[in-house]
Amino acid sequence: MVAKTETFSNPPARDKLLDAAIGLMRDRGYNATTVDHICVEAGVTKGAFFHHFKSKEAIAEAAVDEWCRRRVARYTEDLGDPSDDPLARIDRWLDGLIESVREPVERPVCLLGMLSQEMAGSNSRMRTVCQAKLEGWTGLVAQLLDAARRIHAPRRDFDSLQIGWMLNSLWQGSLLVAKTRRDPEVVANNLRHAKAYIGTLFANG
């Protein structure tokens, strides 16, 4: 009887290219990353690149989509059961964000924020793409706060969407400061303040 041998397939070229683009653009930004850089990092040919992506802009857009897909998967895991108390879910989400910037394999850099800052003023297509992703993050916060308001008595009236944008700005701004100071605890401390603030919105927060 012949023993079976396990075979492991390498990731497809498109996945390698996306991983490379995400990593390089988080480290260097869009303008300092070239197609050649991406191909070398991915270990694929330039022909393979243009088979999957028509331009650097196209892979940047795909990289933002993939980055956000991965982040949403993590957020969903951190949020947990949709039937749980919305305030508990927000608390778990913010704890998950804190933990994510402390992980050795991670860096306190959001690709979405990086490209938003670099390209929003010069590339209308990427500005639209990044704006939609930022609105999605903010909208999720607003939905959770609205759900919490239906269960818990608010201490005062508040605009859920405005608070969503405040938290989004706090998150992205904290990442920028942490990157400059090379200190992820900046993010952790700011998110702890955010958790405390959300607690003040509700009578039993």
pLDDT band at 205 (very low <50, low <70, confident <90, very high): low
Q: What is this structure's pTM?
A: 0.88
* Per-residue pLDDT at 76: 96
pLDDT band at 10 (very low <50, low <70, confident <90, very high): low
Residues in Cβ contact with 178 at an 8 Å cutoff, skipping those fewer than 6 apart: 101, 108, 184, 185, 186, 187
Is 119 among the domain residues? yes
Task: Report how far Cα 57 is from the mean position of its chain's Cα atoms.
Answer: 19
Query: What is the average pLDDT across 95-110?
Result: 86
Query: Does the structure show a pLDDT above 90 at 4?
Result: no
**Whole-number CA gyration radius for the chain:** 20
Is 77 among the domain residues? yes
The parent domain of residue 192 ranges over 56-200
Is 4 among the domain residues? no
* Per-residue pLDDT at 174: 96
Q: How far is residue 111's CA from residue 109's CA, in Å, rounded to a whole number?
A: 6
Is 49 among the domain residues? no
Query: Does the structure show a pLDDT above 80 at 71?
Result: yes
The CATH number of residue 116's host domain is: 1.10.357.10
H helix or E strand, kind and range, residue 111: helix 111-119
Is 165 among the domain residues? yes
Residue closest to 137 by CA, chosen among 103, 90, 177: 90
* Per-residue pLDDT at 6: 38
Q: How far is residue 47's CA from residue 68's CA, in Å, rounded to a whole number?
A: 27
Burial category of 147 from C-beta neighbours within 10 Å (exposed 0-12, middle 13-18, buried 19 and up) = middle
**Helix (H, G, I), strand (E, B), or coil: what is residue 151?**
helix
Residues in Cβ contact with 88 at an 8 Å cutoff, skipping those fewer than 6 apart: 80
Is 5 among the domain residues? no
Is 60 among the domain residues? yes
Query: What is the average pLDDT across 35-62?
Result: 97
Between 36 and 5, name the one with better pLDDT. 36
Q: How far is residue 91's CA from residue 144's CA, in Å, rounded to a whole number?
A: 11
Counting the structural domains of the chain, the total is 1
pLDDT band at 8 (very low <50, low <70, confident <90, very high): very low
Query: Does the structure show a pLDDT above 50 at 16?
Result: yes
Residue pair 104/59 in contact (Cβ under 8 Å)? The answer is no
Query: What is the average pLDDT across 36-62?
Result: 97
* Per-residue pLDDT at 96: 95
pLDDT band at 1 (very low <50, low <70, confident <90, very high): very low
Is 47 among the domain residues? no
Between 2 and 143, name the one with better pLDDT. 143
Residue pair 33/21 in contact (Cβ under 8 Å)? The answer is yes
* Per-residue pLDDT at 69: 97
